[in-house]
Amino acid sequence: MDSEKQQRFQTVALADFSFSSICVSGSYGTGDLINRSDKNTSQLLKLLHSGQVLMVNSRRRNGLIIYKRYHAEFAGPGAVVGSFYDQDCEWVLPVGNLSLLSPESHEDRQKAYLIRRQWIRLMKQITEKSVPQQRVQKILEQFEQYFDPETVAQLPDEAFARLVGVLPQTVRTVRRSPNLEWRQTGSVY
């Protein structure tokens, strides 16, 4: 019994990471590179590669953009991260004040898997739009509804581009566009 409590404590201690900012180097016009030397992010990446099942704290406005080889996925509050889902991730980008927890029960774990699927379905709905600029606008709207404008502004173009399957230049163009008419009409520049 004591060894079970000790093992559970160690698991929770590994999983209770808190990240307070997004580390981005470069400017929006020059490649949007993530600072891959950030110690906390490197530790988080190792944790995801370990196969441990974690979940994004559902009581905070936070999440994790998980870079895969050709795309990115967003795991928002309540979603599972790690496990078999993310062993192939190449990099991660914390959004908001990230907090990861270990699911306490089988039911919590199942619920976290379902929530991750919901986030994936939301991204799928956005990427079904045929006009790339509309996909960018929709993902920006979704993030702006949930996170504060400063947090969204700090996210690199590359992250949004990978989330919705467009080029980073398309994201940059939409973010900088003073002309919003194409968004209502659906026409392309």
Q: Is there a domain that residue 167 lies in?
A: yes
DSSP for residue 66:
E
Structure token pair of residue 74: 């967003």
DSSP for residue 42:
H
Q: Is there a domain that residue 86 lies in?
A: yes
Average pLDDT, the chain: 80
Question: Residue 142 sits in which domain range?
Answer: 2-180
How much is the pTM? 0.76
DSSP one-letter string for 76-143? -TT-EEETTTTTT--EEEEEESEEEE---SHHHHHHHHHHHHHHHHHHHHHHT-SSHHHHHHHHHHHH
Query: Which position has the higher pLDDT, 183 or 177?
Result: 177
**How many domains, in total, are found in the chain?**
1
CB 60 within 8 A of CB 33: no
Model confidence over 73-109: pLDDT tens digits?
999 999 999 988 899 999 999 999 999 999 999 999 9
